[in-house]
Amino acid sequence: MLDAAAELALEGAWGTGVDGIAARAGVSRTTVYKWWPSSAAVLLEGLLERTRGTIESTPSATTREALAGYLTALVIVVRDSPAGALLRGLTAASVADPVVGRALIVDWLAPRRGAVVRLLIEGVRRGEVRPGLDYEVVADVLFAPIYYRLMYEHQPLTDRLAEQIMTVSWPGIAAVDATTESTRITK
Amino acid sequence: MLDAAAELALEGAWGTGVDGIAARAGVSRTTVYKWWPSSAAVLLEGLLERTRGTIESTPSATTREALAGYLTALVIVVRDSPAGALLRGLTAASVADPVVGRALIVDWLAPRRGAVVRLLIEGVRRGEVRPGLDYEVVADVLFAPIYYRLMYEHQPLTDRLAEQIMTVSWPGIAAVDATTESTRITK
DNA sequence: CATATACTGTACATCGTGTCCAGTAATTCG
DNA sequence: CGAATTACTGGACACGATGTACAGTATATG
């Protein structure tokens, strides 16, 4: 049953409604409602199912590289897989449906923000990240531009975006005495 | 007629649909459709009408102060006026309706991004801002956290948010030889 | 006075949502 | 083996919102 949800999510089945989902899954309309409260819930579950492996960060030499890699991976997921369209749709649905909104925060945003916060804390320990920062704000600054471009499409989600975000934000994140780092970034 | 639209926008008339808008404006359903293609179009026009004065930046001593002030003003508008709820709704609508999306970019986002880019260019001229930055990316990093919090509400739009965004991002925006500035920010 | 323009109000077709219900198939349990 | 539970079917229906059509009314303009 979860297979169907995951399958549907990756088919980019947005805008089809419950009817479309039921038809695509080969089950009855009623059956869908038996297990999920809305089409958004089905697709969110499918999305989460298919993106389980994209939460944890891959090991990197430096904190900066780890963060850049993490953001790059996110850009690629939301741009090159149906996850992006799904996220756009779910975000739109979350405006009218608080339950979807909570689920998006808890099951999609929070785990990823948590991974970045862990990287930052580890970075502080290693002396690469400035202590005393508000990690929530740093997570916002790093992640938000990606979702911003995903939602409004005023600018494309390029391959370089993650690195560009780092270029602007890293000097404010890096430990101040790490002159080597910040100078290298600077130019 | 524009009065009605503006009035409605500031009543926080989201989710009422065309019927609700017509009723609130004291006109007939049909009349609304005569002038606007959708309820989103009405509310967007009303929103723009009532926020005309919030695009240009107020003069400030330094570029950093100007940017911080600009972001603070935006936070206050989207948090303390119906503009926030309206923007959330319009953003949601833009996912399904590309016309609304374009209008949002052209009439809401772009003017504000343009104002920030002008501040940045002026800052470069004054030697306060690092040359060679991608202004679009800087605008994303500065604005995106606000819209991100507006949309997902995973964290509140606090009074301090604008300053916190500046704390993280300014060191990467400031001219490198402006040691006074960047050191002051640092701690 | 005649005409164009704007507005009214109702009716109607359409679509997606969510619920209800009677009937069926398969599984589990006594 | 028979009975009860559980899951699924598919059709009907109520509801709300969208968008269009149309005949009629008010008002201003020439």
pLDDT of the residue at B175: 96
Closest CA to A40 of A91, A111, A78: A91
Gap from B177 CA to C14 C1', in Å? 65
Q: Enumerate the residues of chain B whose CB falls inside 8 A of the CB of residue A169.
A: 141, 168-169, 172
How far off is chain A from B55, nearest CA to CA, in Å? 18
Q: What is the pLDDT of residue B3?
A: 76
Whether A148 and B148 lie within 8 Å, measured CB to CB: yes
Nucleotides of C under 7 A from a protein CB: 6-11, 16-21
List, as one string, the DSSP characters of A87-125.
Answer: HHHHHHHHHH-HHHHHHIIIIIIHHHHHHHHHHHHHHHH
Contact A15, A21 (CB under 8 A): no
Q: Phi and psi of A43, rounded to 5°?
A: -70, -35
Chain A hits for B137, CB-CB cut-off 8 Å, are 145, 161, 164-165, 167-168
One domain for residues B93 and B176:
yes
Instruction: Name which residue leads in pLDDT, B167 or B181.
Output: B167
More confident residue, B185 or A33: A33
With CB atoms and an 8 Å threshold, state whether A92 touches B88: no
Burial of A137 (0-12, 13-18, 19+ CB in 10 A): buried
Q: Tell me: do A42 and A82 sit in the same domain.
A: no
Provide the Cα torsion B112, B116, B117, B121; round to 10°: 150
The CATH number covering residue A168 comes to 1.10.357.10
One domain, residues A59 and A38: no
**What does the pLDDT look like over B84-118, one tens digit per residue?**
999 999 999 999 999 999 999 999 999 999 999 99
The full length of chain A comes to: 187
Q: Which parts of chain A fold into alpha helices (H)?
A: 2-10, 17-25, 29-35, 39-50, 63-80, 83-96, 98-103, 110-125, 135-152, 161-173, 179-186
CA-to-CA distance for B146 and B87, rounded, in angstroms? 12
Percent of chain B whose pLDDT exceeds 90: 82
Nearest-angstrom CA–CA distance, A21 and A4 = 9
- Are residue B40 and residue B60 in the same domain, yes or no? no
Number of structural domains, chain B? 2
**How many angstroms separate the CA of B23 from the C1' of C10?**
15
pLDDT in tens, A91-112: 999 999 999 999 999 999 999 9
Closest CA to B21 of B2, B35, B42, B3: B42
What mean pLDDT, rounded, does chain A reach? 92
Of A88, A89, A140, the CB nearest to B148: A140
b/e map A35-49, b = 16+ CB within 10 Å: ebebbbbbbbbbbbe
Show Cβ contacts of residue A24 under 8 Å, excluding neighbours closer than 6 positions. A8, A11, A13, A16
The phi, psi pair for A175, rounded to 5°, reads: -60, 140
pLDDT at A185: 45
- Is the domain of A60 the same as that of A112? yes
Q: How far is the CA of B98 from the C1' of C12 (A)?
A: 28
Burial class (CB within 10 angstroms; exposed 0-12, middle 13-18, buried 19+) of B111: middle
Please indicate, yes or no, whether residues A31 and A15 belong to a single structural domain of this protein: yes
Look up the domain containing A27 and give its range.
2-46
Task: Determine the Cα–Cα distance for residues A16 and A22; give it in Å rounded to an integer.
Answer: 10
Give the residue-averaged pLDDT of A29-53.
93
Tens-place pLDDT, residues A57-91: 999 999 999 999 999 999 999 999 999 999 999 99
- What is the token pair recorded at B166? 């500046």
Domain check: are A62 and A41 in the same one?
no
- For B173, which of A15, A168, A173 is closest by C-beta distance? A168
A2 touches strand D (CB under 7 A): no
Residue A108 touches chain B, beta carbons under 8 Å: no
pLDDT score recorded for residue A15: 82
* Residue type, position B96, single letter: A
Residue A23's domain is classified under what CATH number?
1.10.10
Compute how many other C-beta atoms are within 10 angstroms of the C-beta atom of residue A7.
Answer: 15
| Alpha carbons A54 and A98: distance in angstroms, whole number | 25
Q: Average of pLDDT values for A21-46?
A: 93
CA distance A92 to A101: 9
Whether the beta carbon of A18 falls within 7 A of nucleic chain C: the reply is: yes
The pLDDT assigned to A3 comes to: 75
Give A183's pLDDT tier (boundaries 50, 70, 90). very low
Q: How confident is the model at residue A9 (pLDDT cuts 50, 70, 90)?
A: confident
pLDDT at B185: 46
Of the candidates A135, A119, A143, A140, the one whose C-alpha atom is nearest the C-alpha of residue A58 is: A119
Question: Which pLDDT belongs to residue A179?
Answer: 53
For residue A174, list its beta bridge partners. A129
Average pLDDT rounded to a whole number, residues B130-154: 98
Given this model, what pLDDT does residue B179 score? 53
Give the CA-to-C1' distance from A28 to D7 in angstroms. Answer: 11
Residues B84 and B157 in one domain: yes
Q: Rounded CA gap, B86 and B69, in Å?
A: 22
Report the percentage of chain B scoring pLDDT > 70: 94
A111 and A22 in a common domain? no
> Are A36 and A60 in a shared domain?
no
Residue A119 in contact with residue B118, Cβ under 8 Å?
no
Would you say residue A184 has pLDDT above 50?
no
Give pLDDT tens digits for A139-180: 999 999 999 999 999 999 999 999 999 999 999 999 987 454
Nearest by CB to residue B96, choosing from A92, A138, A169, is: A92
B35 & B67 share domain: no
Lowest mean pLDDT: which of B13-27, B35-49, B128-142? B13-27
Q: CA nearest B71: which of B181, B160, B137?
A: B160
Residues A36, A102 within the same domain: no
